[in-house]
Amino acid sequence: MKALELKIPPAILMLVFGFFMWLVDYLLPQFRQAWSWHLWAAIGSATLALLLVLSGVISFRLAKTTVDPTQPEKASSVVISGIYAYTRNPMYLGFLLMLLAFMFKLTNPITAIVLPLFVSYMNQFQIKPEEKALEKLFGQAFMSYCEKVRRWF
């Protein structure tokens, strides 16, 4: 399974997991609900998702470090300001919220089964390998940051 580590860009993974949500909805339409608030929930989740992703990218750009999640060894600094003072993975949290928005759009609560699968995949094949690379690069500075700030939220 090590072959999957840091191989697929997280934005592509979000789309793949979104496809699985669509497939679940397509195969199990009988679970769709008539939520009067579903569009507002989808818009709210998607807006928050975009804000998180953009704030993460902006923080990286301001720190002049790489935004490429498949090559964490190219990082030039540990970013601990901005949104990174609250979550170590704002972009991944944003992708999760985008999937949640898609669940609201589909109005099928069964599609929520994909959300913990996305989190598990990201933890195992993206976040843990990233953290190993960053610990190797930045040592105690990165470890101190990890002690203060949680991964997702």
pLDDT in tens, 38-83: 999 999 999 999 999 999 999 999 999 999 999 999 999 999 999 9
- Give the separation between CA 127 and CA 13, rounded to whole angstroms: 13
The tokens for 133 are 């690379």
pLDDT given for residue 44 in this prediction: 98
Residues in the chain, total: 153
- Give the separation between CA 46 and CA 52, rounded to whole angstroms: 10
- Determine contact, residues 145/41, Cβ cutoff 8 Å: no
Contacting residues for 17 by C-beta, under 8 A, at least 6 apart: 99, 114, 117, 118, 121
The letter for the amino acid at 117 is L
Query: Across all residues in the chain, what is the average pLDDT?
Result: 96
pLDDT in tens, 122-148: 999 999 999 999 999 999 999 999 999
**What pTM did the predictor assign?**
0.95
Q: Which residue has the tokens 């999640």?
A: 69
